[in-house]
Amino acid sequence: MCGIVGYIGEKNSIPILIEGLKRLEYRGYDSAGIGVISNERKETRVIKSLGKVSLLEDKVEQTSIDASSLGIAHTRWATHGEPSVVNAHPHFNKEETLYLVHNGIIENHTEIKAKLSKDGYEFVSETDTEVLVHLFDSLMKKGNSLLKSVQIGLSEVRGTYGISVISKNEPDKIVVAKKGSPLVIGIGDGEHYVASDVNALIGHTSRCVYLDDGEIVEITKDKFVASTIDDKDIKKEVHEISVELDKISKGDYPHYMLKEIFEQVNSVRDSFRGRILMSEGTAKLGGIERIAERLANSKRLLLSACGTSWHAGLVGEYMLEQFTGIPVEVDYASEFRYRNPIVDRNDSMFFISQSGETADTLAAMKEAKRRDALILGLCNVVGSTIARESEAGVYVHAGPEIGVASTKAFTSQLVVFALISVLIGRKRHLSLIDGQEILRELEALPKKIEKILKLNDQIEAIAEKFVDAKNFLYLGRGYNFPVALEGALKMKEISYIHAEGYPAAEMKHGPIALIDENMPVVFIAPKDSVYDKVITNIEEVKARKGKIIAIASENDNEIDKLVDYSIKIPDTIRMLMPILSVIPLQLLAYHVAVKRGLNVDQPRNLAKSVTVE
């Protein structure tokens, strides 16, 4: 989950490293640091700071530090050891000749530490990472090169890593390696970059190489040489970076999250653009075209994900079962491989992840692969590990999402599940007329989202009433039950208010005990086939003096008599209503958090891409 940046070339690396860390700060912001080798005196220098990258930047500006054309940097999300300057990266050996940054977890660090301690090595941090720098140092002192030391050392390591290492003894290279944690190399003219993802490379280069697990690369300013950890040469494909700089800037918005909520007009459109075949009542999804028949003939469809993507999977379950007639199961990726899942070659399994790097989802994917299921990826980041290791898949095309709390990726995932449902459904029993209706409603979504976003001021005014709330309850039925879960998650993530989502009928089986005049209850209550049932649940809350906020259909005037606040949204067909009903909940959480004085883009203890278990 941490962010890694590296540079080697002719330019001064320090501003490049700081800028790269800022772009990767959504991956972790407990502490940050840079390690460089100066150009003239070839001296090593490390500067570390507790807190956000801006504090590191201030410290660098206040420190006399020579220009350096070689350096590495890191922004941390703490795993082993609390956030502190000592635990911040880069870590280094006693002589400060070897610097290392790491994203991942070294599972056998205790064993390695015990062995190195017997050899006289002293440890100053609480991190698992520090064992790596001392391990590589011990191997270099036996006469091995930096590359060879890293290769030999990693053969002893169990766990996950994305690492970048530099040495004063070989001040013209960076050595990087990957297993389970993402790394990408940016290719320039007489310079190279290293980063945890391409966001740090945008504006510097349009070409990159994605590392795969078990690979190690020695990088100089003029070239890079890739091999496996066991020393087999490999050739890497160069990819083009299509993202532009303005896509990862906040523009005139105060926060990335608000920008990304408002971008849903376009991100939803981009998710279905060029994928609708209206005359045939079906969808064209090139990434799964060659396996579409096998998909349609699957015994089961399995969906695996974490967090917001898991909620998208729950909505996908409703869609797929309704329109394909194939049984669907949704699993938490973090739990999937810790039981004995019944999966075989007749099953097709989708792995859903915005980043395409989620560690638990990747591990679940490997387990399903081992059991011969058809492996499909559904992710947002082009070139991500899930995208590369899937047999087939679909990009959601939401564009870069920087805010830690996912918004536009969720709605784009739902659009893609709708398209997949139509594609498979048309190969089974979905009629032309019904397929066309779904596609027409998809095409109508952007204008309906525009109408919802015009309610921003109204939603902000409602948020003002609940800034001091201690709890929230979110209730929905059918397709909108997962929306209740997602609305509650957004409120928890960024406002730090305890919130729970439930199926509305389940309220009577426990949560109703919590309801009093201080409990805000959010109902997702569009006029659909379960509307009357939800109204009954609203009456039950009203009888107990709960404060009710309703997400309701724009033509529903009766609900206003029952609730304290109503947010009216346009109608659509049931399967697509979650794409509309979730947006007011995103805005409600955003405004409550802002009014509580919180950093909505970087909520405490969270990171955007969860690359550790």
**CA 177 to CA 584: how far, in whole Å?**
43
What one-letter code names the amino acid at 449? I
Single-letter amino acid, residue 362: L
Dist. CA 215–CA 190, nearest whole Å: 23
CA–CA dist 380, 367 (Å, integer)? 22
Mark whether 11 is an active-site residue: no
Q: Which of 281, 328, 318 is nearest to 574 (CA)?
A: 318
The dihedral formed by the CA atoms of 228, 232, 235 and 239, expressed in degrees to the nearest 10: -10
Give, in order, the Cα–Cα distances in Å from 604 to each of 419, 493, 514, 534, 566.
Answer: 35, 8, 27, 35, 31
CA distances 327 to 316, 319, 372, Å, are 12, 11, 18
Residue with tokens 């040469």: 233
CA end-to-end span of the chain, whole Å? 10
d(CA 430, CA 422): 7
Query: What are the strands, taking DSSP E only, across 133-191?
Result: 161-167, 170-179, 184-187
Whether residue 137 contacts residue 93, with contact meaning beta carbons closer than 8 Å, is answered with yes
SS3 367: helix
Nearest to 571 by CA among 562, 583, 581: 581
Q: What is the dihedral of CA 601, 606, 610, 613, to 10 degrees?
A: 180
Six token digits for residue 559: 């609900």
3-state SS of 79-125?
Answer: CCCCCCCCCCCCEECCCCCEEEEEECCECCHHHHHHHHHHCCCCCCC
Q: Which residue among 2, 208, 306, 379 is the active-site one?
A: 2
- 56 burial (CB, 10 Å; 0-12 / 13-18 / 19+) is buried
Q: Are strands 184-187 and 192-195 parallel, antiparallel or unpaired?
A: antiparallel
Residue from 408, 527, 547, 608 carrying the catalytic annotation: 608
- The 10 Å CB-count burial string (b at 16+, else e) for 140-153 is beeebbbbbbbbbb
- Could you check whether the bond before residue 446 is cis, i.e. omega within 30 degrees of 0? no
Q: Is 447 a catalytic residue?
A: no
Provide CB contacts within 8 A for 127, sequence distance 6+. 79, 80, 81, 87, 91
Q: What SS3 class is residue 43?
A: coil
Catalytic residues: 2, 608
